[in-house]
């Protein structure tokens, strides 16, 4: 088990050791100068909770690391499952839940990108003034997961699955564009 210098179990250290055992790498998130408050004056009052939720999830996304490995999904799930069982047995439910949260906190996972999709609706509704950034964001997302955003963009049949390295590069582009979009929405 992973222990910190004081000899106590650390879920973070355990998680990082599992990623290394898988031959993976963890790239910490960039530091972005994001607004503390957002200008929602263009948004109808009853729609603001939805926009606030999308902003919150976007900020969380930007705070996630990029975790890369070359394992298949089934291999990754096996390691996660056995790790959760190990933590539960030795350290309890709370440690297991903390591990699960860390495991899911990865900008490389497509389901974490799904929270960005509503920004297209917000721009189409006129709630976001910087439509160019929204279009750029969706162009970048399309390169990674074209079938997830087909409601908004035409599917390019030539889009192939990206290598982990190419996907990481695209994720960083998405992150930079998303940060710029959030900055443009900040209260002046």
Kindly tell me if the per-residue pLDDT of 37 is higher than 90. yes
DSSP secondary structure code for residue 28 in this structure? P
pLDDT band at 95; cut points 50, 70, 90: very high
Average pLDDT, stretch 86-114? 90
pTM of full prediction above 0.85: no
Average pLDDT, stretch 104-116? 86
Whether residue 5 lies inside any domain: the answer is no
**What is the three-class DSSP state of 115?**
helix
Whether residue 2 lies inside any domain: the answer is no
Whether residue 1 lies inside any domain: the answer is no
- Please count the structural domains in the chain: 1
**Which one of 45-59, 62-76, 115-129, 134-148 scores highest in mean pLDDT?**
45-59
Distance of alpha carbon 8 from alpha carbon 63, whole angstroms: 26
Q: What is the pLDDT of residue 5?
A: 63
Distance of alpha carbon 153 from alpha carbon 80, whole angstroms: 34
pLDDT per residue over 121-155, tens digit each? 888 888 888 889 999 998 888 888 765 554 544 44
Higher pLDDT, 73 or 33: 33
Whether residue 80 lies inside any domain: the answer is yes
**Whose CA is closest to 141, among 113, 119, 115?**
113
Q: What is the pLDDT of residue 152?
A: 46
Whether residue 34 lies inside any domain: the answer is yes
Percent of the chain, pLDDT > 70? 88
Q: What is the pLDDT of residue 48?
A: 93
Average pLDDT, stretch 40-56? 93
Whether residue 22 lies inside any domain: the answer is yes
- Beta partners for residue 9, in sequence order: 3
Q: What is the pLDDT of residue 54?
A: 94
State the chain's mean pLDDT as an integer: 86
Domain containing residue 64: 11-184
Q: What is the pLDDT of residue 120?
A: 86
SS3 content of the chain, % helix, strand, coil (to 5): 60, 5, 35
pLDDT band at 160; cut points 50, 70, 90: low
Distance of alpha carbon 185 from alpha carbon 188, whole angstroms: 9
């Amino acid at each position: 088990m992973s222990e910190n210098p004081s000899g106590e179990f650390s879920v973070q250290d355990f998680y990082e050791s599992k990623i290394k055992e898988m031959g993976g790498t963890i790239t910490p998130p960039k530091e972005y100068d994001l607004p503390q408050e957002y200008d929602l004056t263009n948004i109808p009052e009853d729609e603001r909770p939805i926009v606030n939720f999308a902003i919150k999830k976007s900020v969380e996304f930007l705070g996630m690391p990029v975790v890369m490995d070359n394992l298949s999904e089934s291999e990754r799930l096996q390691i996660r499952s056995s790790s959760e069982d190990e933590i539960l047995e030795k350290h309890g439910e709370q440690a297991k839940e903390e591990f699960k949260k860390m495991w899911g906190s990865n900008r490389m996972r497509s389901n974490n990108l799904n929270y960005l999709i509503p920004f297209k609706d917000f721009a189409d509704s006129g709630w976001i003034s910087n439509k160019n950034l929204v279009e750029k964001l969706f162009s970048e997302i399309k390169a990674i997961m074209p079938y997830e955003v087909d409601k908004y963009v035409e599917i390019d049949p030539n889009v192939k699955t990206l290598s982990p390295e190419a996907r990481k590069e695209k994720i960083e582009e998405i992150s930079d564009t998303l940060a710029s979009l959030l900055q443009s929405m900040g209260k002046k």
